[in-house]
Structure 1
Amino acid sequence: MIAFLKGKVFTVEQDTVIIDVNGVGYRVNVTANCAASLQRKDSEVLIHTHMIVREDDMQLYGFQTPEEIAVFMLLLGVNGIGPRAALSILAHMKPEGIGRALALEDMTSFTRIPGIGKKTAQRIILELKDKFKKINIAIGETEEAVGGEVNAGLFNDTAEALMMLGYGAVEAREAANKACVDSTLAVADAVKLSLRYLDNKRNK
């Protein structure tokens, strides 16, 4: 198994990156947030990876921290959660946010994620509440839930609006992630903040 890759960023797409390791390009499935952080070509990176091998396919899934890959492995153990769904959950919730939602049995945090319904959220909580405690990820004392920092519904609506304005998926998600820390914003206000961030970034 490939535990990690250390090399240079070759290309970045919406949910995959190609890492050049000594002249060999490895395609790695990642979250949009991870892809956004790796946009600079030829930058040196280290990505923690998990390989999933099937009869007709072999895929690498990459993460920026050991905590993320530990939670990914837990999620794969839940009935009905495949690698894409597990990656989607981690795209919307940080490990500590997942831990808080599990501790509080907060289904709403999970059902706000596209593709995660009430029954799936119930299974996640039922099957992982006790297991999560064993991987020693600090979840903090706050009872704030919902993806650690970003409201998933606001984030998705903002990113979609930016893409409709012509921005690429990775760029739109990066800007939306910056703007949507304030979960009380209306979508229109979050879009305005995102556009301001994008303008500032381009003028640097």
Structure 2
Amino acid sequence: MISSLTGTVESVGLNHAVITVSGFGMRFSATPQTIAGLHPGEAGRVLTSLVVREDSMTLFGFASQDEREVFDVLLGVSGVGPRLALAVLAVHEPEAVRVAASSGDDKAFTKVPGIGPKGARRIVLELTDKLVPTGAPTAGADGDRGGVVEQPWMDRVLEALTGLGWTEKDAEKAVRDTVRHEPELEEAGDVASVLKATLRHLGQGQSSRSGR
């Protein structure tokens, strides 16, 4: 089993990257947060989890042991596959997932595209006693990864968001709203930064709607 990759970052995409190890290019899927820490031509290291299916073998990469552990536990929930587990970690930090699971906060999981109220309740039920908070601080109080935008990076950000499950219409509106509130993002033009800020914005918006 491949438990980690250490080598030169060959390429970076929106939700995947390739690290060259001893002449072999190893491609893996990862959250935007993990991808943001990898830079082509530089040394990189990720912890990994290999998901084997009847017709495929897919490698997933993580920036920390905690992220990988939460991912593996999520895979044990009925109805949660690797893509959905990765989407959970794209919206919430590992510690936020632990807190939500241990406190029975099913609304936190409905912030993830592809998870409805029924699925969220099932996740909380099955994760009881399996994820225990460590006491580590999270990015915000709720634990989220928290003008007209016409920039070269717009299509890449929209592609990543639709790949995580949001509709193109909702994704585009969220990006525009995010950049309107954080204009420095547009000036920087960094795909990873805009993507992380938009995910945070989407999570806050879903939290507001669920509280009505």
TM-score by length of 1: 0.75
Within the candidate set 169, 177, 181, 2:156 is matched to 169
Match of 1:74 in 2: 73
Distance in 1, matches of 2:127 and 2:81, equals: 15
SS of 2:20 mapped into structure 1: strand
Give the CA deviation at 1:86. Answer: 0.3
Structure 2 residue identity aligned to 1:190: T
Give the CA deviation at 1:91. Answer: 0.7
Within the candidate set 118, 141, 144, 2:141 is matched to 144
Match of 2:50 in 1: 51
SS of 1:45 mapped into structure 2: strand
Distance 1:18 1:146, change over 3 A: same
Cα RMSD for the two superposed structures: 3.0
Runs of 4+ in structure 1 off by over 4 angstroms are: 170-173, 186-189
Match of 1:7 in 2: 7
Q: Are positions 1:34 and 2:62 aligned together?
A: no
Distance 1:37 1:192, change over 3 A: farther
Distance in 1, matches of 2:177 and 2:51, equals: 40
Kept in 1: contact 2:91–2:111 (CA 8 A): no
Distance in 2, matches of 1:53 and 1:113, equals: 24
Kept in 2: contact 1:32–1:170 (CA 8 A): no
SS of 1:78 mapped into structure 2: coil
Kept in 2: contact 1:108–1:146 (CA 8 A): no
Kept in 2: contact 1:100–1:139 (CA 8 A): no
The number of equivalent residue pairs is 176
Instruction: Output one character per residue of 1:146-181: Cα deviation in whole Å (capped at 9) or x when no partner.
Output: 42x42xxxxxxxxxx96x6441535997xxxxxxxx
Within the candidate set 175, 179, 183, 1:191 is matched to 179
Q: Greater shift after overlay, 121-130 or 78-87?
A: 121-130
Structure 1 residue identity aligned to 2:156: A
SS of 1:9 mapped into structure 2: strand
Give the CA deviation at 1:189. Answer: 5.3
Distance in 2, matches of 1:108 and 1:35, equals: 27
Unaligned runs of 5+ residues in structure 2 are 161-172, 191-212
Match of 2:18 in 1: 18
Match of 2:208 in 1: none
Structure 2 residue identity aligned to 1:58: M
Kept in 1: contact 2:5–2:21 (CA 8 A): yes
Counting only pairs closer than 5 Å after superposition, residues 105-120 of structure 1 correspond to structure 2 as 105-120=104-119
Give the CA deviation at 1:120. Answer: 1.1
